[in-house]
Amino acid sequence: MKEIDKLPVRNRKGREFIEKVGSGGLALTSIIGLVFLLILVYQIAKPTIIDGEEGEIVAATEFLPISDYILKWDNPSVDEDGNLISEPIIIQLAWDDENGSHEHEIEITVIPQRNVKENIQLNENGVDTNEVTVGKKTKFFIYSTLSTPVSVHQISGPTPAANETGYPQVNTFVIQSDVSTVFSNGISIEESMAIISWCLLMVMILVYIFPNEKIIQPIASISKNHQIIRWISLVPFLFFILYEITVIRFFIVLNCFIGLRMLANLSEGIFRLSNQMKPLNDRILLKHSIVNRDGLMLWAKLFFLVSTFFIPLNVHIPFLTERYQDIFQPYSSGIRSAFYGTFWVMGIAMVMAIPVSIGAAIYLEEYAKPTRLTKLIQALITNLAGVPSIVFGLFGLAIFVREGGFGLGFGPSIFAAGLTMGVMAMPIIVLAAQEALRSVPRSIRESAYGIGCTRWQVTKDHVLPSAMPGMMTGTILAMSRIVGEAAPLLVVGAFGAVLFDPEPFAALTDGNINFTVIPIQIYAWTAEPGHEWHAMAAAASIALIAVMISMNSIAIILREYYRRRLNS
Amino acid sequence: MVPKIQFEDKAHIFLFLSGLSVIFITIGIIETLLGESVEFFQEVAASRGWFDFDIEFKGLMSQYGMASGVFLLCYASMILVRKNPNLRTKIPQTMVLLPPKAVFALYLVAFILFIYFDNILLGISMFCLIFTWKFIADVSFDDDFVQQKFGLQKTLFALGIASFSLAITTNYSGALGEFFFQSQWTPTGSCPDRRSLCENMSFGINSLLFTTIQVAFGALLIAVPIGVGCAIFLSEYAQPRLVAVVKPTLEILAGIPSVVYGFFAFIYIGPIVVEFGEYAFTQGWIDEPPNILNPINGAIVVGIMILPLIASMSEDALRAVPNELREGSLALGATKIETTVFVMIQAALSGIIASIILALSRAVGETMAVTLAVGTVAVFTTNMFLPAQTMTAYIAQKVSGDLSYGDIGYLTIFAVGLYLFFITLSLNLLGNKILTNFREEY
């Protein structure tokens, strides 16, 4: 014990100096952390701008790997000022088959009218025409029925974002996107339906937010038939059965469904109000009379926002959804197969991991007595969450990929990769779900038990709804961690260059099992020598980070929505 | 009316089965890793025997001998001080009484030596020397202290015996000796048939382990000061509005995929490190010109990766300290920085240490960034400007080539994976134990 009289007398200035230095130093450390992030973002964004001196592309080439594959030739036929380029585009199609090697040149003339197109047919005899006339900003297709790959090489004419000599335009972004309206290729039934569905959704959202009496009057006149509207809202799903699903059709159907559902719920509310002889000009009463208003608004806003990129605007990013990886031409590469591969791996991982891990979390929190087995499971989950991802990859390699021994023999396929990723996500989701269940107040359970609910009823009807936001947030965050993981998939056997759309269940149906995902694509491109490939790796990194940030923001939106609903 | 209770009776069985699947997964991981590793060791043992060494007492003059000397000296002095109460009074106090700052500086020196020494045990022995010195100093003041720290004594004895036996034995061979004690990693030797085992191959994991330790501890050197400082700043000093900006930024930093960090290290950090390395080379501090792929590069990028983990976990620990402690300290007249250093950090120490250990485990298991940043040459060298290879990077490199099931290259990745699994598992167990057992209850 020190005696107080013997303590050194501190200088006031010295104390203040130390105080300032200490707090300043601490502030500095946290600024350094932020500076790291800024440098990181800048260094990733920098290579995606084409550097004039080093970057170089020649005419864009594409590779037709399999027969009846549609090559979408995405060539701008106008220069920077919007003037039409008069120089004809000449492309050369070459392939080898049993009759020898073929080589055909096709001259493409661009005319000012829109929506004029001639498609090219390829077969054993050669090309059906040597001259094609297309309208400006119009797509035409080369249909190949050959069994051998066809290489496409552009001999003259402009290349995407390049000047006449073939060099890329300096200071342009490597990911090209083309924003147009849905009507740029002419009006057909699909485009008009798209616009109608989008407008319906927008009107319904506005009506829900500002329920004006004048607008509601016509709805009130049909409010007796709200049950019929509810049935009509299912009609758009016939589209899915009758036609092939594309992105636009998907959004048409879901926008129509949500919009009509909103209309039905609104008219039902009006019907109920008018039955009770209540006035329609009371906004709060009207808002409360609509069944599931918050949920419908959440989905409507979400779909309205996302479909804006496809329906009125038609944002078109060939890098993401059209171009495959090109082995020779960096700037004409894309991540289409990796994008779909990521999508499928995620989907299988989710389907596998979510039910099991949420079940485990419910068991551990609600049912389990603190036995030795329960404690063991709990300890294993906590420690599994910290096991390096590559060890999970080894597990997947031995169990799912390999045949013989303990292996199930799925091969290096998407199915095996999805299962591996699901196993990896499980402990993370279990821990998040447990945390969410633990945060549900004890009083909710006890009051439910008090009125005679069984344990399963308490869990299903009282605990799970309250714990839902935490569970969903944890699940989405786990999934956004899975999206960025490359190491387990490297072990499972993701392939570097995949020039076709991956088939998710190829392991079970004897298809082509090769696949790739975006992180593996980034890894492969980073390992390539050359500035251009690094630019593509940076572009793919930006795409990946965008996917992750959007997933995280969905998690945050859902969390806020549920939290608001619980508090109200 | 029959009540619907059939599912309710069975619900817990289904839920229990899903809980049980975790056990199956863990057993599956351990069992696959163990199965393939045992096959690996059996194959190596079939050609070289299980374990073999020669005894040579000349080895006492080596670094291991020095380490064992230090360990046993520490052990003996501890025993002496503990058993002889009279001796304690005779210790001249000026000799043992070091100011705390000097002790801290010595710890720092020992830590740096630990990273840069070839010999891990010698590095640990330096730590133990300071520990023992402090122990003797404490003991000479406080008699009650003698009863504590019995674990250290046992550890010292075990380490002393271990390094002694390492010192007098040479030429380890056989499957186990080669894997755990040798440091030449050439799993694809120049053999007539490169798929099968031959004499030119060598499986000494220490070169991989050494680079892994270099990268992981180098990352801690970067991440711990910045991360803990950031956490203290956020929980003690920053305005709530600033916290609302910085916290999500750190979360984004934590969410960025490791392969993107690898890309960042490859194109940006590597060239910067090479510039420093070239300066060091012209000054004659290192004997070979630097390469763009090197462990320093990896250490920096992994440090940036684990920074948000340390920051957010340490901040949680600091926020969990009740406000009464802070207010009590301030009421006694301590300044804010004194309160932070002497009260808050002490109270949250278990949480901070646990965050550091869990971050270390993350750094050891990190794959893609390290593969892209450190390189693919398995060498045992202290020159951190030359390309090397970590354990995870070896697995990643091996699987991206052609891999045929059952050959020796395929089996090595499971042996390396098992070793990695046990290192990270024990680190996680330690971290979680500290987090739960040593938490101060208020």
CA–CA min distance A166, chain B (Å): 27
Whether B395 has its CB under 8 Å from any CB of chain A: the answer is yes
CA distance A129 to A371: 78
**Long-range contact pairs involving B60-65 (C-beta distance under 8 Å, separation at least 24):** B60/B167, B60/B168, B62/B167, B63/B117, B63/B118, B63/B119, B63/B121, B63/B122, B64/B119, B64/B121, B64/B122, B64/B163, B64/B164, B64/B166, B64/B167, B65/B163, B65/B164, B65/B167, B65/B168
User: Is the minimum CB–CB distance between A18 and chain B shorter than 8 Å?
Assistant: yes
Using a 10 angstrom Cβ sphere, with 0-12 exposed, 13-18 middle and 19 or more buried, the burial of residue A566 is exposed
Residue A85 has pLDDT above 60, yes or no: no
A153 — pLDDT class (breaks 50, 70, 90): low
Return the closest-CA partner of residue A252 out of A200, A214, A216.
A200
Give me the residues paired with residue A131 across strands: A107
Residues of chain B with pLDDT > 90, as a percent, come to 10
Q: Tell me whether residues A376 and B23 touch, CB distance under 8 A.
A: yes
Pairing mode of beta strands B185-186, A131-135: unpaired
Give me the mean pLDDT over the B146-164 stretch.
Answer: 74
Contacts of A493 in chain B (CB under 8 A): 399, 403
Interchain contact A381–B (C-beta under 8 A) = yes
Our CA-based measurement puts residue B227 at a distance from the nearest CA of chain A, in whole angstroms, of: 8
Q: Does B272 touch chain A (CB under 8 A)?
A: no
A384–B26 C-beta distance less than 8 A: yes
Averaged pLDDT for residues A158-181: 57
Backbone dihedral angles phi then psi of residue A508, each to the nearest 5 degrees: -95, -20
Do A206 and A96 belong together in one domain? no
**How near does any CA of chain B get to the CA of A437, in Å?**
15
Confidence (pLDDT) at B147: 56
**CA separation for the pair A494, A485 (Å, rounded):** 12
> What pLDDT score does A69 carry?
38
CA distances B155 to A208, B83, B164, B168, Å, are: 71, 18, 14, 20
**A141-144/A120-123 β-pairing:** parallel
B31 touches chain A (CB under 8 A): yes
B349-365 and B408-437 helices cross at what angle (nearest 10)?
A: 170
- Residue A163 in any domain: the answer is yes
Q: Are residues A389 and A473 in the same domain?
A: yes
Q: 């300043």: which residue's tokens? A: A24
Cβ-Cβ contacts under 8 Å, B396 against chain A: 390, 487, 490-491
- Residue numbers in B near A362 (CB within 8 A): 15
Identify the band that residue A392 occupies on the pLDDT scale cut at 50, 70 and 90.
Answer: very high
Chain A hits for B364, CB-CB cut-off 8 Å, are: 388
CA nearest neighbour of A460 among A470, A451, A448, A452: A448
Do A336 and A468 lie in one domain? The reply is yes
Q: What pLDDT, on the 0 to 100 scale, is given for residue A58?
A: 36
Q: What average pLDDT does this structure show over B70-96?
A: 75
pLDDT per residue as tens digits for the range B390-424: 999 999 888 877 777 778 888 888 999 999 999 99
In terms of domains, do A345 and A264 share one? no
In a domain, A17, yes or no: no
CB atoms A544 and B264 under 8 Å: no
Q: Do B29 and A381 touch (CB under 8 A)?
A: no
Strands A150-156 and B169-173: unpaired
By CB atoms closer than 10 A (0-12, 13-18, 19+), residue B416 is buried
Please compute the mean of the pLDDT values over residues A436-450 and round it to a whole number. 89
Q: What percent of chain A has pLDDT over 90?
A: 8
pLDDT at A160: 45
CATH of the domain at A489: 1.10.3720.10
Asked whether residue A117 is assigned to any structural domain, the reply reads: yes
Is the whole-model pTM more than 0.80? no
Question: Token digits for A568?
Answer: 């109200």
Between chains, do B8 and A457 touch, taking CB under 8 Å as contact? yes
Window A:144-183, CB contacts with B under 8 Å: none
Positive or negative, the CA dihedral B364, B369, B374, B375 is positive
Say if residue A399's pLDDT is above 90: no
Q: Is A30 among the domain residues? A: no
Indicate whether A246 and A218 sit together in one domain: yes
How do A126-127 and A120-123 pair as beta strands?
antiparallel
Distance between CA A313 and CA A117 in Å, rounded? 22
CB contact under 8 A, A380 and B26: yes
- pLDDT at residue B420, as a whole number: 92
Tell me if A135 sits within 8 A of A117, measured CB to CB.
yes
Give the tokens for residue B227: 């991360």
- Give yes or no: residues A165 and A92 share one domain: yes
Contacts of B424 in chain A (CB under 8 A): 386-388, 391
- Digit-coded pLDDT (tens) for B278-288: 988 888 888 88
Region A519-534: mean pLDDT is 85
Question: Is pLDDT at A100 greater than 60 in this prediction?
Answer: yes
State the number of CA atoms in the 13 A half-sphere of B225 facing the CB.
9
Give the model confidence (pLDDT) of B325-359 as tens digits. 889 999 988 888 888 888 888 888 888 988 998 89
The yes-or-no verdict on residue B441 having pLDDT over 70 is no
* Co-location of A137 and A191 in the same domain: no
Which whole number is the average pLDDT over A427-448? 90
If asked whether residues A356 and A430 sit together in one domain, one would say: yes
Whether A6 is covered by a domain: the verdict is no
**Is the CB of residue B58 less than 8 Å away from at least one CB of chain A?**
no
Q: What is the DSSP string of A93-124?
A: EEEEETTEEEEEEEEEEEESSSS----EEEET
- Which of A172, A207, A235 corresponds to the end of one domain? A172
Full residue range of the structural domain in which residue A114 is found: 61-172
**What mean pLDDT is predicted for residues A79-101?**
66
Residues A92 and A188 occupy one common structural domain:
no
Residue A225 lies in a domain: yes
Of residues B365, B373, B375, the one with CA closest to residue A392: B365
Is B75:B161 a contact under the CB 8 Å cutoff? Answer: no
pLDDT at A55: 31
Give me the mean pLDDT over the A350-379 stretch. Answer: 88
Tell me which residue in B255, B368, B424 faces A386 most closely, judged by beta carbons: B424
pLDDT at A159 over 60: no
Strands of A70-72's sheet in order across: A70-72, A141-144, A120-123, A126-127
Q: Which residues of A touch B429 (CB under 8 A)?
A: 383
Q: Which of A19, A362, A537 sits opposite B263 (nearest CB)?
A: A537
Is the residue at A168 inside a domain? Answer: yes
How many independent structural domains does chain A possess? 3
A157 lies in the same domain as A193: no
pLDDT surpasses 70 at A172 = no
A150-156 β-sheet, strand order: A61-64, A150-156, A89-97, A100-111, A131-135
Element (H, E) at A361: helix A336-362
Query: Which residue among B22, B249, B413 places its CB closest to the CB of A381?
Result: B22
Cross-chain Cβ contact A455/B405 below 8 Å: no
Query: Residue B5 is nearest to which of A388, A426, A454, comparing CB atoms?
Result: A454
Which of A127, A152, A172 finishes a domain? A172
Alpha carbon of A204: minimum distance to chain B alpha carbons (Å): 34
* Chain A CA closest to residue B426: A383
Please list the residues that pair with B349 across neighbouring strands. none
Whether residue A345 lies inside any domain: the answer is yes
Mean pLDDT of B123-131: 80
- pLDDT value of residue B17: 84
pLDDT in tens, A25-76: 888 888 887 888 788 888 888 877 765 433 333 333 444 444 333 443 444 4
Closest by Cβ to B29, choosing from A47, A359, A391: A391
d(CA A493, CA A507) in angstroms, rounded, equals 13
Predicted local confidence at residue A156, as pLDDT: 61
Answer for the pair A523, B262: CB distance below 8 angstroms, yes or no. Answer: yes
Average pLDDT over chain B, rounded to an integer: 81
Summarize pLDDT for A227-279 with one digit per residue, the tens. 888 888 888 888 778 877 777 888 888 899 999 999 888 888 888 888 888 87
Contact B172, B48 (CB under 8 A): no
Question: Looking at the predicted complex, does its ipTM rise above 0.85?
Answer: no
Same-domain status, A295 and A333:
no
Q: Chain B within 8 Å of A235 (Cβ-Cβ)?
A: no
For residue A320, the model assigns a pLDDT of 80
pLDDT digit string, tens, across residues A134-149: 776 566 677 777 767 6
Q: Kindly tell me if the per-residue pLDDT of A361 is higher than 50.
A: yes
Q: For position B189, what pLDDT does the model report?
A: 64
pLDDT tens digits for A552-567?
888 877 777 777 766 6
Query: Are A464 and A537 part of one and the same domain?
Result: yes
What pLDDT was estimated at residue A169? 54
Beta-bridged to residue A84, according to DSSP, are A78
- Residue where a domain stops, chosen among A265, A299, A316: A316
- The answer to whether the CB atoms of A527 and B229 lie below 8 A apart is no
How many pairs of residues across A and B have Cβ atoms under 8 Å apart?
268
Q: pLDDT, tens digit, for every residue of B8-61?
A: 567 778 888 888 888 888 888 888 888 888 888 888 888 777 777 777 777 677
Average pLDDT, whole number, for chain A? 78
- In the stretch 356-375 of chain B, residues with CB closer than 8 A to chain A read 358, 361-362, 364-368, 371-372
Work out the average pLDDT over A452-477: 85
Answer whether B15 sits within 8 Å of A23, measured CB to CB: no
